Amino acid sequence: MALLHLQSFDDTNTDGHPGWSSSTWTTSGVRTGTKGIQVGDSLNQSASFSYSDQPSTTIVGVAWKPTDLGPDPSRVIQVDGSGGGVDLALYLRATGAIYATGPWGTSSDSATGIITLGLWHYLEIKLVTDNTTGSYEVKINGTTSFSGSSVDTQSGTSAYTTQVYFYGSGSSDMDRSYFDDFYLCDDTTSYNNDFLGDTAVHSLYPNGDGNTSNMTGSDADQVDNYELVNEEPPSSTDYVGSQTPGDLDTYAMENLGSTAYTVHGIVTSVYGAKSDVGLKYMRHVVRTGSTSGAQSDNVSDTYLLTSSYVMNDKAWNVNPVTGVQWTEGEITAFEVGQETRNTT
């Protein structure tokens, strides 16, 4: 898998994406795009992202802006293992230094003054979870601040992680902090299996009909379907749908706006519900400019739909048509959509 998740925080107002909880998505603390998350309006407040992939090597990147210093030291970010134990937690000292704690104990401090209040920093962690051969490395703005190897980084009975926490509080940890441009990877494939570096995550929206418009819109036709699925936040009153298994709708998407980007991966998001009885599913679809026809056979996972609207996210580590890393040109030309299914 390698790329497990990306999040720009731009495209919903609450915790609408699966896995996220207790976070305030805000326009106040923005590094790129239109929104970030804000943590620290109440005692011990945290935001979290849970995942089921069970990586034994966990690579996390996030932009972080602390605004005030709470008690010395103040907790910043935490990676939990199986059973909810802490495999690694980072803390900020009043000196502007960072250090880590885990089952092995406490790391050495980074250099003092590496963190400045009120400025954005890009924080990255690479954690190998194991009772004896575990390791960790922490980078700030692309430079390794400290690391450890051959240590116990496994808090639970199993050697994998399940959740990342982001902290901020006026009483026991950081006062208000902002986070943006989040990524999560493991090391299981040839791409995105290590630090990605200072990363920006952009949200792109449909801006035209694609090659396939099989679904009927809430306006009772199949014309300009993209206009029914490009709202932010997503709407349950403007929609497209079909009761025919295998029907596809794809949409032209906005461009990144720069040819200088290295595209590490994409996450497609579909906000959907079922309108019929029985088990109903949907599947994410992508189409690249180099392949004719919408790609319904691109090994995308199916998602069980319920009668309530929910957001479904799908990470694409590589282009499913070429089997290699995405290019900016493919993002410029690609289409995104969904397929109706009665079976998995």
The pLDDT of 185-193, averaged and rounded, is 95
- Asked if pLDDT for residue 65 goes beyond 80, the answer is yes
Distance CA 44, CA 167 (A): 8
Please state, in angstroms and rounded to a whole number, the distance separating the CA atoms of residues 129 and 134.
5
Say whether pLDDT at 201 is over 70. Answer: yes
Alpha-carbon gap, residue 334 to 314, rounded angstroms: 16
In 3D space, the residue among 206, 204, 202, 205 whose CA is nearest the CA of residue 180 turns out to be 202
> What's residue 46's pLDDT?
82
What integer pLDDT is reported at residue 42 of this predicted model? Answer: 59
Domain edges within the chain: 3-185, 206-341
Does the pLDDT of residue 127 top 50, yes or no? yes
Encode pLDDT of 216-238 as tens digits: 999 999 999 999 999 888 888 99
Cβ(325)–Cβ(264) below 8 Å: yes
CA distances from 16 to 3, 46, 234, 248 (A): 20, 17, 9, 24
- Most confident of the following: 30-39, 96-105, 276-285, 291-300: 96-105
Question: Left, alpha or beta for 197 (phi > 0: left; psi -120 to 50: alpha)?
Answer: left
**Mean pLDDT, range 4-33, rounded to an integer:** 84
pLDDT in tens, 161-176: 999 999 875 555 456 7
Mean pLDDT score of the chain = 89
What is the Cα–Cα distance from 87 to 69, expressed in whole angstroms? 24
Q: What fold characterizes domain 3-185?
A: Jelly Rolls (2.60.120)
302-304 and 281-287 strand pairing: antiparallel
Distance CA 200, CA 39 (A): 20
Tens digit of each residue's pLDDT (9 = 90 or more) over 252-302: 999 988 777 899 999 999 999 999 889 999 999 888 865 544 454 555 778
* Top-confidence residue, 108 or 290: 108
C-alpha to C-alpha distance for 121 and 116, rounded to whole angstroms:
8
Percent of the chain residues topping a pLDDT of 70:
92
Out of 165-169, 199-203, 209-213, least confident range: 165-169
Q: What is the pLDDT, as a whole number, of residue 15?
A: 60
The per-residue pLDDT for 294 is 47
